[in-house]
A and B are shown apart, each in its own frame.
Chain A
Amino acid sequence: MSEYFSWIKDTFYYSLIYDDRYKYIFIGLKNTILIALFAVILGVVIGILVALIRNYYDNNKKLIILNFISKSYVNIIRGTPVILQLMIIYYVIFKSVDINILFVGIIAFGINSGAYVSEIIRAGINSIDKGQMEAGYSLGLKYGQVMRFIVLPQAIRNILPALGNEFITLLKETSVGAYIGIIELTKASDIIASRTYDYFFPLIIIAIIYLIMTLGLTKLVNLLERKLDNVNY
């Protein structure tokens, strides 16, 4: 028993305290959050754009080329592994450019997220009764006004919780960034383990950190969902 305790003490010491190794975890956590946060923001911007182009096309049969590009983008992103997308963006597109690797991660995960976000927004828009749009049109409002004042304010109730879930997914997916050398949480634990030759403790630590973040966020999303259910319409 005492042997067991002393092993825990040692592995804790060498994984985190010795040589200030805990700093890797901090850096990793910071980068994981940074990438996920900015990627989801980029994803939302792309997602809104793509969703509106596709919805506009569905309604008016205009913007044919933009719609084709948008649809292809969504299909390609959803049809290929995120790690492949990351590698293509890093090794092919940014190959000869001197660029911060975090930035590459944000771009790659943002582009990836945009496809999923656009589907979330599209589903949100489509969940609103068509009669709402038609009533808006029949009063002389234009597509943009109908979207802005009538459809999106209603759709947001379905969209926001789903976006929260998308952020949670993204938070976990950033671990793939380790593959191109981004020091996010997973890579941080890997660095520590490669020094101590002990994988157990670093991996458990970051697993707990991921869990705390995702469970906490899930709680927040549920709270938001309940709040939105109580809105007066």
Chain B
Amino acid sequence: MLIIKGLKKKFNKNSVLKNINFEVNKGDRIAIIGPSGCGKSTLLRCINLLEKPSEGSIIFNNTNLLDKSVELNVIREKIGMVFQQFNLFNNLTVLENIILAPTKLGLISKSDAVKEAKKLLKQFDLYDKLNNYPRELSGGQKQRVAIIRTLIMNPDMILFDEPTSALDPEMVLEVEDLIKTIADENMTMIVVSHEMNFIKNIATKVIFMIDGEIVEIGDPDTIFNKPKDERLKKFINLTNK
């Protein structure tokens, strides 16, 4: 579904991603771990082209996203993104947040969008917040709405950038549970997270990055229990403390 080859990203002279290569198949749930500043967010942002890669190729459903002829917005409809800071539209209610994109893009009629949004809000226990503005929600509620907002687009893949890092500890679980539910429905996803238990729980593959490079890729069991790289061993010991 997604093939990343020789991906490099520089900010001015600063090399933030140095030759990233990996593949994502349908149904994969890839977790990306690594110390702060190693380029995890930049990597995710390159995949839906919120950042423009400096070199390399990103093949998504057989299209190279770096081709000049690619219509970015059409691609982005199919790649959902969930941000650390939620980024709900502050001027819109919960319902309006969810239906804005699918209706304005003409993907479904407004009444169908409302129906679908209400169904999702009911399913995830947010129906009573329908007409609230983001500032009236808790962090956990905001992030769940943000996830529903990407779900209604029917994406082929969702990118999560530290979806629970900005949350108070007691709200982490409600968001993780929601992501787990989506995972169980076989959604393809790439998740950047520092919550190791959560990763063990949902990931099919783990990528460990340092300094803009992938140091080790493997299944969760290998990465967490039989890590090869010394830096990975250290990193896992640190996060277990």
Contact = CB atoms under 8 A, between A and B. Distances in A.
Interface of A: 129, 131-132, 134-142, 145, 149-150, 153-154, 232-233
B77 A131 contact: no
Interface of B: 48, 50, 72-77, 79-81, 83, 85, 87-92, 100-101, 104-105, 133-135, 146, 149-150, 153
With most chain B CB atoms within 10 A of its CB, the pick from A134, A140, A153, A232 is: A140
Contacts of B105: 140-141
Given A138-B76, A142-B73, A149 B100 contact: yes
Contact of B91 (A135, A138, A142, A154): A154
A141 B90 contact: no
A137 B149 CA distance: 13
B83 A131 contact: yes
A140 B87 contact: no
Contacts of B133: 232-233
Given A131-B85, A132-B89, A233-B133, A137 B76 contact: yes
A149 B97 CA distance: 10
Given A138-B76, A138-B81, A139-B80, 15 more contacts: A134-B83, A135-B89, A137-B73, A137-B76, A139-B101, A140-B76, A140-B101, A140-B105, A141-B100, A145-B104, A149-B92, A149-B104, A150-B89, A233-B91, A233-B134
A135 B79 CA distance: 12
B90 A134 contact: no
Given A139-B101, A139-B153, A134 B76 contact: no
